[in-house]
Amino acid sequence: MTGPLDYVETQRVVLFSEGDPLRLRGGGRLDHVEVAYETYGELSPERDNVVFVCHALTGHAHAAGLHLGAKKRGWWDNIIGPGKPLDTDRFFVVAPNILGGCSGTTGPLSLNPATGEPYYLDFPMLHMSDLVAVHRKLMRHLGVERVYAGVGGSLGGMQILQWAIDAPDEIEKAVLVAASSRLSTENIAFSSVARTAIMSDPEFHGGRYVEHDTVPRLGQKVARMMAHITYVSDQSLDTKFGHRRDTVGDEMRMEPDFAVEHYLQHQGDVFLDRFDALSYLYLTRLLDYFDPFADPWTAERLAAARTQFQVTSFDSDWRFDTRQSLRMVEQLEACGAKVDFAEIASPFGHDSFLLQPPGYHERVAAFLKD
């Protein structure tokens, strides 16, 4: 059977509580952690067919299928489903919203049990290991001790890498797509500008904008517009929009005029409806500090691991370019890990991991075969 999944539902579970808090790598703790997640397929009696999907920066748990009454399918519906690379006739696929997010999992706008008010900027800074700790606890909740494969693109791939380091015996195969083991200086610079745009917005109110019944709309929109440019390629923008103007006549104007400008305006506007500014601040900062091979225990843990890695980059991705993937491959191989690497030709830039350029899905499917 090959085709899309039918209707799916998002589930929620409280994984950490005051009596069993989430102790963060930075020394803090969270006394209440709720997680939103979805599952697709059936868990085998042996509980050995789990594929765990981690989403990218602004993703969520709805990775595949269709919610009742909705028109838009899950963000990775093209790779998850019957007969697809993450074959739900074979695998039990788990997809959660990450810690610090804003789509059902505990984040900065969640209520702080100690105050009864949202955390706002009192929410603790997160390390990638904190996200992984929540993923691992979700697996225990589902009665699973080991996953067959962990799969993720961009920030999702970084979560899988950290998981393979933190718990070397828990992931048999790790699929890391358009990811990095340490952000480039340019990446940190882009994120810094985005955060500055948000925090400088007059409606930010020190992060307590909800109390003022507003959001830092302009800053968040600018941050997304800029970031979106880095997710696509010059070729894809030129092919889609070229130098086309959306107005009639030759008169010059200061307002948006070119088709690409209107496209970015739209991307910025729709982002406001689906993502929270504080989550954006926390998760981009999390990425800046990610550098697992700087930890002295990483080499020893990976040397003892049985995880097989597949690392894939795209030739038009300039946000997380192939050099960053190659650096990760070299670091993994230096630790004794087995790595399958390839660069895929694609015109779509960083967003290629969400799409289906030739050879990409076939590569993932082949790696996940027994």
Closest CA to 168 of 65, 303, 347, 295: 303
Q: Rounded to 10 degrees, what is the CA torsion of 166, 38, 11, 116?
A: 50
Which sign does the torsion angle of CA 81, 87, 90, 95 carry?
Answer: negative
Which sign does the torsion angle of CA 328, 332, 334, 339 carry?
Answer: negative
For residue 212, report the phi and psi dihedrals to the nearest 5 degrees. Answer: -100, 10
DSSP SS3 for 92? strand
Going by their DSSP bridges, the two strands 11-16 and 147-153 should be labelled as unpaired
∠ at Cα 62 (233, 313), nearest 5°?
Answer: 30
Neighbours of 251 (CB within 10 A): 7
Token pair listed for 48: 């050995």
According to DSSP, the residues that pair with 313 across neighbouring strands are: 343
Catalytic residue numbers, as ranges: 154, 317, 350
C-alpha to C-alpha distance for 207 and 230, rounded to whole angstroms: 26
C-alpha to C-alpha distance for 173 and 138, rounded to whole angstroms: 19
For residue 258, report the phi and psi dihedrals to the nearest 5 degrees. Answer: -75, 150
Token pair listed for 34: 């709720």
Residue 238 annotated as binding? no
Closest CA to 117 of 20, 214, 210, 35: 210
Residue 285 annotated as binding? no
Are residues 112 and 119 in contact, defined by beta-carbon separation less than 8 angstroms?
yes
For residue 193, report the phi and psi dihedrals to the nearest 5 degrees. Answer: -65, -40
Are residues 5 and 77 in contact, defined by beta-carbon separation less than 8 angstroms?
yes
Binding positions for substrate are 224, 351
